[in-house]
Chain A
Amino acid sequence: MDFAFSEDQLSFRDAVRDLLTRECTASVVRDAWSNADGRSGQVWDLLAEMGVLGILAPEVDGGLGMTMIDLVLLIEECGRVALPEPIIEHAVVCAPIIGGVVSGSRTVTSFIGGSPFALYADSCEVALVERDRRLFTVERAALRLTPETAVDGSRRLSTLEWSDSDATEVGGPLEAVAAFDRGALGAAALLLGLSHRMLEMSVEYASERRQFGAPIGSFQAIKHHLANARIALEFARPLVTRAAYSLSVGDPDASTHVSMAKAQASDAAMLTSEHALQCHGAIGYSYEYDLHMWMKRVWALSSSWGDAGLHRARVAKAVL
């Protein structure tokens, strides 16, 4: 028994954290709210150069042929900086299925698992789509897009239509379920990262902001809000790690483990965003302050890839 990441996994995490802290600043995220494609520009290319995007792609396809346990911490780092990119769709969902496409210079989005929207379909070259529980790829040129405006201005949404004649089959029902599971686990990891950053922002702010002659973070009401968020995250993380491990080793209960992780991470992230906003007070409610960009990403991701209710129902089916 050894429920810990390896030294290699941790140092890769540290390297990705350094890169993202340097390159994916809050102003990059803010720019993505108003730029043409809603994305980060060069940060995506830097992640590709580091090999992050192809970790799950098979080696014969030019990827690293590694597993989810090698990737999960890196996805969390992407959440920490609120990276505005199709990281789940491209690197987590599509890489094991269409590794050649992912490892090339083209970016892939996905439109599977009953989601009403695809993310960044307008700037991705290929989409992985689902029809009748089977997976297909469709080239961007063959897709008809209907855009939709999201609360998180960096999330460029659209619904997709395509003709069967333009779709190339790449997987059946088993692959479709596995792809959805990976997406849900990826979302759970992003939610952890987003939440830890919101908590950091809140601790920093509550330590500096003074009222009644003292930092507001010295008041028990504030302390208990933020402690509750920290506790919720403490007991979400091990479920996310375990689900990543189960996907890596092909555990027969992996889908249930993923659902436990996504339900817990969704709830913990929503709780953290509520407490973060409350502890910031009015400044947190302002558009100029960064917190709202993290909160809105949490709102989106907590209900994407199955919300807590859907995943609890999946767990209920398996264990009750």
Chain B
Amino acid sequence: MELAFSPSEEIFRQEVRAWLLENVPSNAMPSGDTREGFEAHIDWERRLFDARLAVVSWPKEFGGRDASLWEWIIFEEEYYRAGAPQRVTQNGIFLLAPSIFQFGTPEQQERFLPKMASGEETWCQGWSEPDAGSDLAAVSSRAVRDEAAGGWRLSGQKTWTTRGAFCTHLFGLFRTDPDAQRHHGLTYLLVPLDTPGVTVRGFGRLDGDEGFAEVFFEDAFVSDDFVLGEVNSGWGVAMATAGSERGLTLRSPGRFTATADRLLALWREHGDPKDTQLRDAVTQAWIDTEAYRLQTLGVVTTLSKGGHAGPEASMVKIFWSELDVRLHELAMRILGPRAEVAETAWAKGWQFALSGPIYAGTNEIQRNVVAERVLGLPRK
């Protein structure tokens, strides 16, 4: 056991820290979940890419640095510590990219990854439908074979599509075998949103930003080059992506340690020392944040030695999402009547945190996964 980073990892940390200190905008950008803010964030993504900091863990040929998982952890710690802008490219670089690396052809990797890394093409996730949420295998959007044109004609509707109104591309699950049931007969498709027959309608999330979209498909055509993995095998590809979302890539400890640091600073500034109940709750949130960071170090140790993240990832998803809610809830309590002011990082963050237990598979579904696949309780 060794709980220190190596000298070369610390050099990497210093480089990242110095660059962020120099480059992170001093004034907060408008929300990346608005059209204006999205554009500003894409400019920021481009600067990260030019510094080869957009996708540090990717191979050099696609714009990365071949950074190890440890360096990626360090990058994230520094990124959040510096208060750098939200990553509006995250659904592409963190969710879709791992699946393209795993299932994509060399041509697809060359076609999609560099533009994803630079922010030139931005990706949203097309899974949920009006009648398929927690029950993802109930998707009914269809893709019908067009043999003559060498591709697929899409129809149906996706919804709750984060930043769908601003992104250029969507990745999603479509039913390609109408006779197959549930998770059979689905195909993972990559869809440019400017395709004729695709209509996107943005709508407000809890905080009022236009961060959600509905996406309608009416006889929209995509060619065979845009199928990821095998036809009718999309479920397996999607589950690999879901593993990324629930597991490591989207929720590095850096995000929560930065929030916990801000919470402690808020307590020191505004907390009532006589309120020992609130003091203990703040302390417990700090302990939980440390537990999350350390648990991740254990997972990364396993992955670095060639192991895999199994269904335990569901425990991680439950824990970070509920921790994030708790951290913000405590900030609201410390702020008291001041918490009502809308345009503060805490008020925005609080509203965003509330989505955590819902998206990426609700925590109720995740608890079923923990019970059945970690503990071995019977499905029926």
Residues of A near any B CB (own CB < 8 A): 1-6, 69, 199, 203, 206-207, 214-215, 217-218, 220, 222-224, 226-228, 230-231, 234-239, 241-242, 245, 260, 263-264, 309, 312-313, 315-316, 319-320
> What is the chain A residue whose CB lies nearest that of B268?
A320
Stretch among B127-135, B201-209, B277-285 lining the A interface? B277-285
The listed residue (B2, B268, B312, B372) touching A2 by CB distance below 8 A is B2
Mostly, the B contact residues are helix
The answer to whether B283 and A218 touch across the interface, beta carbons within 8 angstroms, is no
Q: Say if the beta carbon of B76 comes within 8 Å of chain A.
A: no
Query: Could you tell me which residues of chain B, from 334 to 380, have a CB within 8 Å of some CB in chain A?
Result: 364, 367-368, 370-372, 374-380
Which of B70, B290, B295 has the most chain A CB within a 10 Å cutoff?
B290
Stretch among B86-94, B108-116, B180-188, B296-304 lining the A interface? B296-304
Chain B nearest CB, measured from A87 CB (Å): 22
The answer to whether B287 and A260 touch across the interface, beta carbons within 8 angstroms, is yes
The answer to whether A319 and B297 touch across the interface, beta carbons within 8 angstroms, is no
Chain A nearest CB, measured from B311 CB (Å): 11
Complex Cα distance A271/B70, Å?
33
Q: Say if the beta carbon of B5 comes within 8 Å of chain A.
A: yes
The answer to whether B377 and A223 touch across the interface, beta carbons within 8 angstroms, is yes
**Number of B residues, CB within 8 Å of A:** 48
Chain B nearest CB, measured from A185 CB (Å): 15
Chain A nearest CB, measured from B75 CB (Å): 14
> What is the chain B residue whose CB lies nearest that of A204?
B376
Q: Say if the beta carbon of B291 comes within 8 Å of chain A.
A: yes
Which residues of chain B come closer than 8 Å to A264, judged between CB atoms? 287-288, 291
A sample of 20 inter-chain contacts (CB < 8 A) reads A1-B5, A1-B70, A4-B298, A207-B377, A214-B378, A217-B377, A217-B378, A220-B367, A222-B377, A224-B368, A227-B374, A227-B375, A234-B312, A234-B315, A242-B294, A312-B284, A316-B279, A316-B283, A319-B264, A319-B283
Chain B nearest CB, measured from A214 CB (Å): 7
The listed residue (A4, A241, A316) touching B280 by CB distance below 8 A is A316
Residues of B near any A CB (own CB < 8 A): 1-6, 9, 70, 264, 267-268, 271, 279-280, 282-284, 286-288, 290-292, 294-295, 297-298, 300-302, 305, 312, 315, 318-319, 364, 367-368, 370-372, 374-380
The answer to whether B297 and A218 touch across the interface, beta carbons within 8 angstroms, is no
The answer to whether B280 and A236 touch across the interface, beta carbons within 8 angstroms, is no
The answer to whether B283 and A203 touch across the interface, beta carbons within 8 angstroms, is no
Which residues of chain B come closer than 8 Å to A4, judged between CB atoms? 1, 298, 301-302, 305
The answer to whether B287 and A315 touch across the interface, beta carbons within 8 angstroms, is yes
Known: A1-B300, A3-B3, A260-B291. 5 other contacts (CB 8 A): A215-B378, A220-B368, A241-B294, A316-B280, A320-B268
Complex Cα distance A315/B288, Å?
12
Which residues of chain B come closer than 8 Å to A203, judged between CB atoms? 375-377
Which residues of chain A come closer than 8 Å to B301, judged between CB atoms? 1-4
> What is the chain A residue whose CB lies nearest that of B380?
A218
The answer to whether B319 and A231 touch across the interface, beta carbons within 8 angstroms, is yes
The answer to whether A227 and B284 touch across the interface, beta carbons within 8 angstroms, is no
Which of B292, B370, B372, B374 has the most chain A CB within a 10 Å cutoff?
B370
Q: Which 9 A-B pairs have CB atoms at the shortest separation, nearest pair first?
A: A223-B371, A238-B294, A227-B370, A217-B377, A235-B291, A3-B297, A227-B367, A316-B283, A2-B2
The listed residue (A6, A218, A226, A235) touching B375 by CB distance below 8 A is A226
